[in-house]
Amino acid sequence: MRKKIYTILNRIYGIMMTVSFFAGILPLIPFIIAIFIGGDIGANISIFLYKQFYPWVIVIGSAAILVGLIAMYVGKIEGLSVKKVSTNENDSSMNS
Protein backbone atom coordinates (compact mmCIF):
# COMPACT_ATOMS: atom_id res chain seq x y z
CA MET A 1 0.00 0.00 0.00
CA ARG A 2 2.84 2.36 0.90
CA LYS A 3 4.55 1.75 -2.44
CA LYS A 4 1.31 2.42 -4.33
CA ILE A 5 0.82 5.75 -2.53
CA TYR A 6 4.46 6.63 -3.24
CA THR A 7 4.01 5.84 -6.94
CA ILE A 8 0.85 7.95 -7.20
CA LEU A 9 2.41 10.90 -5.34
CA ASN A 10 5.55 10.64 -7.45
CA ARG A 11 3.49 10.81 -10.66
CA ILE A 12 1.56 13.81 -9.37
CA TYR A 13 4.87 15.46 -8.45
CA GLY A 14 6.26 14.85 -11.92
CA ILE A 15 3.20 16.26 -13.65
CA MET A 16 3.09 19.32 -11.41
CA MET A 17 6.79 20.06 -11.90
CA THR A 18 6.45 19.67 -15.67
CA VAL A 19 3.50 22.07 -15.71
CA SER A 20 5.40 24.50 -13.50
CA PHE A 21 8.48 24.32 -15.73
CA PHE A 22 6.60 25.01 -18.95
CA ALA A 23 4.46 27.68 -17.29
CA GLY A 24 7.68 29.40 -16.27
CA ILE A 25 9.01 29.34 -19.83
CA LEU A 26 5.69 30.26 -21.48
CA PRO A 27 5.93 34.04 -20.85
CA LEU A 28 9.26 34.25 -22.67
CA ILE A 29 7.59 35.18 -25.97
CA PRO A 30 5.35 37.90 -24.47
CA PHE A 31 8.38 39.36 -22.66
CA ILE A 32 10.33 39.48 -25.94
CA ILE A 33 7.33 41.09 -27.66
CA ALA A 34 7.09 43.61 -24.79
CA ILE A 35 10.75 44.51 -25.27
CA PHE A 36 10.23 45.18 -28.98
CA ILE A 37 6.97 47.10 -28.46
CA GLY A 38 8.37 49.14 -25.61
CA GLY A 39 6.65 52.10 -24.05
CA ASP A 40 3.54 51.81 -21.94
CA ILE A 41 2.12 48.82 -23.80
CA GLY A 42 5.32 46.81 -23.33
CA ALA A 43 5.48 47.82 -19.68
CA ASN A 44 1.85 46.80 -19.16
CA ILE A 45 2.51 43.38 -20.71
CA SER A 46 5.51 42.84 -18.45
CA ILE A 47 3.70 44.04 -15.34
CA PHE A 48 0.72 41.79 -16.11
CA LEU A 49 2.98 38.75 -16.44
CA TYR A 50 4.86 39.66 -13.28
CA LYS A 51 1.84 40.38 -11.08
CA GLN A 52 -0.85 38.06 -12.48
CA PHE A 53 0.90 35.08 -14.06
CA TYR A 54 4.07 34.34 -12.10
CA PRO A 55 2.43 34.12 -8.66
CA TRP A 56 0.42 31.14 -9.94
CA VAL A 57 3.56 29.51 -11.33
CA ILE A 58 5.23 29.92 -7.93
CA VAL A 59 2.20 28.40 -6.17
CA ILE A 60 2.17 25.40 -8.54
CA GLY A 61 5.91 24.88 -8.10
CA SER A 62 5.67 25.14 -4.32
CA ALA A 63 2.77 22.69 -4.20
CA ALA A 64 4.74 20.31 -6.41
CA ILE A 65 7.68 20.45 -4.03
CA LEU A 66 5.36 19.73 -1.09
CA VAL A 67 3.91 16.70 -2.91
CA GLY A 68 7.46 15.53 -3.72
CA LEU A 69 8.53 15.81 -0.09
CA ILE A 70 5.48 13.88 1.07
CA ALA A 71 6.25 11.22 -1.55
CA MET A 72 9.81 10.97 -0.26
CA TYR A 73 8.52 10.60 3.31
CA VAL A 74 5.98 7.93 2.32
CA GLY A 75 8.55 6.07 0.22
CA LYS A 76 11.16 6.30 2.99
CA ILE A 77 13.66 7.91 0.62
CA GLU A 78 16.48 9.88 2.20
CA GLY A 79 17.31 12.71 -0.18
CA LEU A 80 19.90 14.26 2.08
CA SER A 81 21.77 11.88 4.28
CA VAL A 82 25.12 11.75 6.02
CA LYS A 83 25.32 7.98 5.62
CA LYS A 84 28.39 6.64 3.88
CA VAL A 85 27.66 5.32 0.40
CA SER A 86 29.41 2.05 -0.32
CA THR A 87 31.41 1.80 -3.53
CA ASN A 88 31.73 -1.97 -3.23
CA GLU A 89 30.06 -3.69 -6.22
CA ASN A 90 29.13 -6.69 -4.08
CA ASP A 91 27.15 -4.57 -1.63
CA SER A 92 23.59 -5.90 -1.58
CA SER A 93 22.06 -2.51 -0.72
CA MET A 94 23.22 -1.07 -4.04
CA ASN A 95 21.72 -3.91 -6.07
CA SER A 96 18.17 -3.54 -4.81
Whether the full predicted model's pTM is greater than 0.95, yes or no, is no
What is the count of structural domains for the chain? 1
Q: Would residue 51 count as lying in a domain?
A: yes
Give the CA count within 13 Å in the CB-facing half-sphere of 54: 12
Q: Would residue 43 count as lying in a domain?
A: yes
Q: Would residue 88 count as lying in a domain?
A: no
Range of the domain at 55: 2-76
Task: Give per-residue pLDDT as tens, 65-86.
Answer: 999 888 888 887 776 666 665 5
Q: How many angstroms separate the most distant Cα atoms in the chain?
A: 66
Q: Would residue 64 count as lying in a domain?
A: yes
Is residue 13 within 8 Å of 67, Cβ to Cβ?
Answer: yes
Residue 54 to residue 32: CA distance in whole angstroms: 16
Residue 66 to residue 92: CA distance in whole angstroms: 31
Task: Give per-residue pLDDT as tens, 33-58.
Answer: 988 988 899 899 889 988 998 899 89
